[in-house]
Amino acid sequence: MDIFLFILSLACMLVGILGSFLPVLPGISISWLGIVLLYFTNVIPANYWVLGITLLVVILFSIANYILPAKGTQRFGGSKAGIWGTNIGLIIGLLAPIPLGFIIGPFIGALIGELFFDSKNAKEALRAATGSVLAILASGFIQFMLCVIYFGIFISIVWRYKEILF
């Protein structure tokens, strides 16, 4: 059973890293699940500090993941209409069956929101929409790095108990 849980947790870690690139998979949450499954083995004693801190990071990043695109729009000069457009575009982009909808949706949403607010200033609307895309790309990079860190934690735990586990 321990080997099965190890293989399942390793699969979660790999899917989590893949999920940091694919918006339909919550990458960091799946990576955290991989760490939790590893602690379910009989060999590895539970470390509640590791589980608690990594869970806190998952929760904080999950919240920030939805705030970052709007903050990117705002940082690049977007108005409240552009921020609303970004959020609506993000939801539509995630649900729409188009490639890269999670990037295209917020961009178009911010652009439409800004043009709705000030239709004469297309350059500023484009700048605010670009801010939303840059924030989404930064969020994806942060998620990838967190998944890699979680994979490193996974490897260190397995390495510590390798003689007993295998």
Q: What is the mean pLDDT of the chain?
A: 88
The average pLDDT across 128-153 equals: 90
pLDDT at 32: 96
CA-wise closest residue to 28 among 8, 13, 48, 46:
13
Q: Which of 31-40, 94-103, 112-121, 156-165 has the highest mean pLDDT?
A: 31-40
What is the spatial distance between Cα 17 and Cα 26, in angstroms, rounded to a whole number?
10
CA angle (137 as vertex; 60, 62 as ends), nearest 5:
15
Residue 116 has pLDDT above 80, yes or no: yes
pLDDT at 149: 96
Q: Which two tokens stand for residue 106?
A: 């917020």
Query: DSSP letters along 77-145, please?
Result: T--HHHHHHHHHHHHHHHHS-STTHHHHHHHHHHHHHHHHH-TT-HHHHHHHHHHHHHHHHHHHHHHHH
| Global confidence as pTM | 0.81
